[in-house]
Structure 1
Amino acid sequence: MTVRIENGLCYFKLDENGQEQSLPATQVKILTDDGKAMSYVDLAGERIYITEVEADALTGVGAIDGRKHVKAEEPGSLI
């Protein structure tokens, strides 16, 4: 899991060594990468991709939900 939430603080795992960056939930904005059809959080210019379950958990503690629905343009697409 990329995200850990404790007492209104959101901790984002930045690398495989376990380094984390934390922000208050109210300063987190969840966005959508249209090309990948995935949600992410921008931390100091770096995209941290998160699952929809993580995105929902973040919005539940006060993060800004800037996601948008992505529609498929090709027949048979999963999205």
Structure 2
Amino acid sequence: MRRISGGEKKRLSIALEILTRSRLLFHDEPTTGLDSTTTFFMLQTLKHIVVDNNKIIISSIHQPTSEVFGHLYDLYQIV
């Protein structure tokens, strides 16, 4: 039986938080284990969730790349 990877587990937990329709989403290191392309698309999706659904997202990210930090700064500016 195949098990899900750490990245798949992380994306699944984020999806479950989104589906519960709570106003506040808390993500503990959502980009850990993701490649740069997946990280980019995940941050873009979170940005759309914030704007389109009036959600608040709290995330902890350790040592983000400058590109990831730029996206997080954009998210912060929206709120």
TM tier relative to shorter chain: 0.3 to 0.5
More strand by share: 1
Greater share of helix: 2
Q: Of the two structures, which has the highest relative contact order with CA contacts closer than 8 Å and spacing of 6 or more?
A: 2
